[in-house]
Amino acid sequence: MSEVATHTPPPQSRRNLFETLGIDTRLLGMVIAFILICTVFYFVTDGRFLSPRNIFNLTIQTVSVAIMATGMVFIIVMRHIDLSVGALLALCSAVMGLMQVWILPQVMGLPLGSVAITPLAIIAGLLTGALIGAFNGWLVGYQQIPAFIVTLGGLLIWRNVGWYMTSGQTLGPLDPTFLKLGGSEGTLGATLSWIVGGLGAVAAILAQFQARKSKARHGFAVKPIWAEITMSVIFVGAILGFVGILNSYDIPTARLQRMFEARGEVMPEGYTEGFGMPISVLMLIVLTIVMTVVARKTRFGRYIFAAGGNPDAAELSGINTRLLTVKVFALMGFLCALSAIVAQARLQNHTNDIGTLDELRVIAAAVIGGTALSGGIGTIYGALLGALIMQSLQSGMAMVGVDSPFQNIVVGLVLVVAVWIDIQYRKRSGALK
Amino acid sequence: MRGDDAMTSNRGTPLVEMRDISIAFGGIKAVDHVSVDLYPGEVVGLLGHNGAGKSTLIKCLSGAYHADSGEILINGQKVNISNPRDARALNIETIYQTLALADNLDAASNLFLGRELVTPLGFVDDSQMEAETRKIMGRLNPNFRKFKEPVSALSGGQRQSVAIARAVYFNAKILIMDEPTAALGPHETQMVSELIQELKRQGLGIFLIEHDIHNVMKLCDRAVVMKNGQRVGTVNVNEVTDDDILGMIIMGKKPPQAV
């Protein structure tokens, strides 16, 4: 019953290079935009923008927003929104701060510096986030209150619940182990970073050829082998290049000296050591991979996209969309808590204004990354790139000395223009009617 | 096909019996004490104006609604269908008028939506699902090529064939088709009618909601006419004329042959 049944199918249009390589052209556009931004700042800052030091800092600063942006993709894909992520981050941070400075050492009597403090604080934080997220999801899914309203309420509620719990006080000092999750305090060091990078490169190649094998098994068309190899080279180059840059940022001499003294050794003359990959960045990378697999390869992910594309169809296909809403919001809450760990450890204490305005940054990252507010469309890596683009703009403009109000104007413009380009692109490619 | 006996005949146990079904929405009786039945290898047309209650009645069978009162029997067994999952478990498949496709997903994802094939590790097996989709589409619509595109990129007929493939793939015993040809051209309509004949030969029971009286006369064995939520009557299609049926639909006038 196809319309082409009566006449011959049109000749297959010539495939361009990127189609052959299997690169999503939208992703390519974003990568080019990102490279453009980096190039401009590189010249304006006389190369400082792309120094290993700045790249290191940039990645660390991106982590917190990027973690939440991966979850926001699912929320927006399901046609919801979460305005409470910044506030929830603050509450989770308050809970973890209280655990570290008061509940565990003073109420439960754990000795300061006990190995149990960090894991217990983290568990408490993650539970808080997931439970409040699930509660939001229940209000949205089962009580049918629009997510905008539920989370707008949450935006006003949760940060201030945290304020009451801490009486508005700054909490610190935090547990030394906990601080390692913030960025520069906890890095893998050069050797371990190379090992992780190497494993990542091998895994990338294996995953690619696994996919090829699976396609070939069913007799589907596969990419030409040169395309596979080109992609592998790009992947491996990107992974190892990134690790190389992080490794080439040397730990300051004074800090190295303190590290040696702490171990009771004397630092050799002229000794240098690279920071390597921060634990928080590794966490984000692993999370991105996991969330991408969830989105593409699990029923849970498939149902999120189905429910976003057509809620009625999902319901009629036997998907419990209400429970799905609860799960997606619970996941978002969990990610807020994860983000709170990184943010708090990076700032080295809990303050009540932690994560202020993060909801807007997170939504902007997801949207710049190609997530459609009308639902059903979005990618995890897009959101990650969106977060990176925003942080680069902000950090670059700060380096150049652009006035703060103007910085916000530029970020705002980028957000609107990015969505406009996206809509134009989808119109052309026929994904929008 | 059928003998010349009366319609609620001694043809054994009906595949489906909906007895005395009622459902109301905010005081409005959408379906008011309606009973219908369906035998294997039979096509029963459900007719009536928009808002007569056909779709609502049938949604009680597909699990989209839950009837306020009345009972449903499948093969003589009383069943409780409270959601679409229950209906699917009883081999009841539905092709909705809206097709109920997720426009952002490809044909295979739609065909297996809610019933994905998974690898031993529990991940969705897209290659396997695509292979199965290619197989069934090869049977239903050999010209179908767009396996990679989201279904929003498909024509009306192609979308329809995805929706039909979804219903047929999972060994339906009872098929509900809500205006399957409403959005189709003549050629595609022809293909749908051939498919209905084929499924009938295979022994499926089909409820067909249809506005086009010619299609009803051509495809259906019996026709149930509804008006204002009530059943006007049930007729054997080969015992009545077009005008008899139109009279039932428009005036609620029951011809002498009807029960």
Judge whether A208 lies within some domain. Answer: yes
CA gap B51, B25 in Å, rounded? 12
Q: Give the tokens for residue A78.
A: 């399901």
Alpha-carbon gap, residue B151 to B98, rounded angstroms:
13
Contact B84 A3 (CB under 8 A): no
Measured between beta carbons, the chain A residues lying within 8 angstroms of B102 are 305-306, 309-310, 313-314, 376
User: Is the alpha carbon torsion for A282, A285, A288, A289 positive or negative?
Assistant: negative
Query: Which stretches of A46-145 are DSSP H helices?
Result: 52-77, 85-98, 117-141
Residues in chain A, total: 433
The yes-or-no verdict on residue A360 having pLDDT over 60 is yes
Nearest-Cα residue of chain A relative to residue B127: A215
Residues A259 and A301 in one domain: no
Nearest residue of B to residue A430, measured between CA atoms: B153
Residues 186-215 of A with CB under 8 A from B: 214-215
Residue A221 at interface with chain B, using a CB cutoff of 8 Å: no
* Strand B69-74 to B77-79 pairing: antiparallel
CB atoms within 10 A of CB A264: 6
The total of other beta-carbon atoms located within 10 Å of residue B29's CB is: 15
Smallest CA–CA separation between A318 and chain B, in Å?
5
A322 touches chain B (CB under 8 A): no
Q: Other CB atoms closer than 10 Å to residue B166's CB: what's the count?
A: 26
* Rounded Cα distance, A153 and B202, in Å: 57
Residues A214 and A132 in one domain: no
With respect to residue B46, please indicate whether it lies within any of the assigned structural domains.
Answer: yes
Residue B90 lies inside a defined structural domain of this protein: yes
Supply φ then ψ for residue B231, to 5 degrees: -85, 125
Query: Which of A297-306, A384-393, B194-203 shows the lowest mean pLDDT across its residues?
Result: B194-203
Q: What pairing do the DSSP bridges indicate for beta strands B16-25 and B28-38?
A: antiparallel
The mean per-residue pLDDT over the stretch A100-106 comes to 91
> Is residue A176 in some structural domain?
yes
Residue A244 confidence (pLDDT) above 90:
yes
Tell me what pLDDT residue A431 has: 52
How many other C-beta atoms can be found within 10 angstroms of the C-beta atom of residue A208? 17
**Domain for residue B258, yes or no?**
no
Which residues, other chains included, contact A140 with Cβ-Cβ below 8 Å and sequence gap of 6+? Answer: A80, A146, A147, A150, A325, A329
The pLDDT value given to residue B192: 85
- Which residue of B61, B91, B104, B118 is the best one to mutate when testing the A interface, meaning the one whose CB has the most A CBs within 10 A? B104
* Residue A430: band (very low, low, confident or very high) from pLDDT cuts 50, 70, 90: low
Looking at the structure, tell me whether residues A154 and A83 fall in a common domain.
yes
| Res A364: pLDDT | 94
Higher-pLDDT residue of B165 and B255 is B165
Closest CA to A139 of A372, A409, A325, A404: A325
Please provide the average confidence, as pLDDT, over all residues in chain A.
90
Tokens matching residue A17: 């290079």
A225 CB within 8 Å of a chain B CB: no
Q: What is the rounded distance in angstroms from the CA atom of residue B254 to the CA atom of residue B185?
A: 33
Q: How do residues A315-342 score in pLDDT, each as one tens digit? A: 999 899 999 999 999 999 999 999 999 9
Q: Give a yes or no: residue A228 inside a domain.
A: yes
Please report the residues numbered 24 through 43 in chain B whose beta carbons come closer than 8 angstroms to any beta carbon of chain A: none
What is the rounded distance in angstroms from the CA atom of residue B103 to the CA atom of residue A79?
Answer: 14
Would the pLDDT of A405 be above 60? Answer: yes
pLDDT tens for residues B149-166?
899 988 888 888 899 899
Write the pLDDT tens digit of every residue in B46-97.
Answer: 998 888 889 899 999 999 899 999 999 999 999 999 889 899 999 999 998 8
Contact A298 B124 (CB under 8 A): yes
Residue A14 lies in a domain: no
Say which residues have a Cβ less than 8 Å from residue A107's Cβ, sequence separation at least 6. none
One-letter amino acid at B196 equals I
Residue B192 located in a structural domain: yes
Tokens 């990650």 sit at which residue? A384
Percent of chain B with pLDDT over 70: 96
Domain presence at residue A384 = yes
Specify if A17 maps to a domain. Answer: no
The minimum CA-CA distance between A166 and chain B, rounded to whole Å, is 43
Q: Domain limits at B76?
A: 16-251
A15 assigned to some structural domain: no
Give contacts of B98 with chain A, Cβ < 8 Å.
Answer: 312-313
B2 assigned to some structural domain: no
Least confident of A23-32, A153-162, A179-188: A23-32
Distance (Å) from the C-alpha of residue B40 to the closest C-alpha of chain A? 24
Q: Which residue in A76, A80, A88, A69 sits closest to A139, CA to CA?
A: A80
Last residue within a domain, chosen from A277, A300, A328 = A277
How close does chain A come to B34, measured CA to CA in Å?
23
- Across the range A116-122, mean pLDDT stands at 95
Instruction: Yes or no: say if A8 and B199 are a contact pair by the CB < 8 Å rule.
Output: no
Q: pLDDT value at position B2? A: 41
Q: Is the pLDDT of residue A411 over 90?
A: no
Query: Distance (Å) from the C-alpha of residue B236 to the closest C-alpha of chain A?
Result: 29
A216 in the same domain as A178: no
Same domain for A301 and A372? yes
Q: Determine, yes or no, domain membership for B204.
A: yes
Interval B3-22: pLDDT, tens: 444 444 446 889 999 999 99
**CB < 8 Å to A310, chain B:** 100-104
Local confidence band at B171 (pLDDT 50, 70, 90 cut-offs): confident
pLDDT (0 to 100) of residue A20 = 74
Quote the domain boundaries for residue A299.
Answer: 23-185+279-428
Q: How far does the CA of residue A387 sit from the closest CA of chain B (Å)?
A: 24
CB contact A297 to B (< 8 Å): yes
Q: Does A309 touch chain B (CB under 8 A)?
A: yes
CATH (domain of B76)? 3.40.50.300
For residues A177 and A194, membership in a common domain is answered with: no
Give yes or no: residues A270 and A321 share one domain.
no
| Number of domains, chain A | 2
Q: Does A12 reside within a domain?
A: no
A7 touches chain B (CB under 8 A): no
Domain CATH number, residue A377: 1.10.3470
